[in-house]
Structure 1
Amino acid sequence: MTKPTKSKKQTRQEIESQIESFIREQGEIKHVKMGESGLQDGKYNTSHMGFIEPKKDRTPLNHVVAAIQQRKSAKTTTPPTSAKRSKPKKKAIYDDFGEPIRYVWED
């Protein structure tokens, strides 16, 4: 049994009713400036902000990539092994009535 999901309209109505009941109970809604709620002691909380450090230079690894590619190409140039032998197959020999008489292995 699945729980029925609320539509957007139902969710909006529920939020509106919660706001109205809050205001009816002498609740007060304060208006704050944009970004002000993210401040701690009047400053931005930088402990959770990303990209604080300056961009670091990357270490070039072209010689490592070249060595890897050279090893890969060396592996592919090895000559293929000799052709695989085919496995012998079991063949039935039938009589005039279609009944198997005996089995013979063929290459």
Structure 2
Amino acid sequence: MFTGTRLAHLLSTISRQLFRQSTEKHQADRYVKRCISWQLLVTLVSSHVTQALSLRSLVTVSETLGPHSYHLYAGPVARSTLSDALNKRDYQPFQDFCELLLCGICRQ
């Protein structure tokens, strides 16, 4: 019997459809080949939970997601790809996500 990881339960609170709509609206994944915005979000959330402090530790956390990549819809990311994504990616979908998350928290 499969049981989800705690990270999967944490990410289940995020509406992938709303995040994808925001990504399409801001064209954040335009010209992206390897690390889409959702994969970057999963990496950043898991890195925040594990308190990763450097790019190397971000990559290490990303590599530990390997066995769970099917369920999280995100796989490991190379260090250079992650560095490029953090430097060049549009921040607007992530800002929209945080605003939606904060609005949901304020309503409760």
Q: Between Structure 1 and Structure 2, which shows a larger proportion of strand residues?
A: 1
Q: Between Structure 1 and Structure 2, which shows a larger proportion of helix residues?
A: 2
TM-score w.r.t. length of structure 2: 0.18
TM-score w.r.t. length of structure 1: 0.18
Higher radius of gyration, 1 or 2: 1
Which protein has greater RCO, CA pairs closer than 8 Å, 6+ apart? Answer: 2
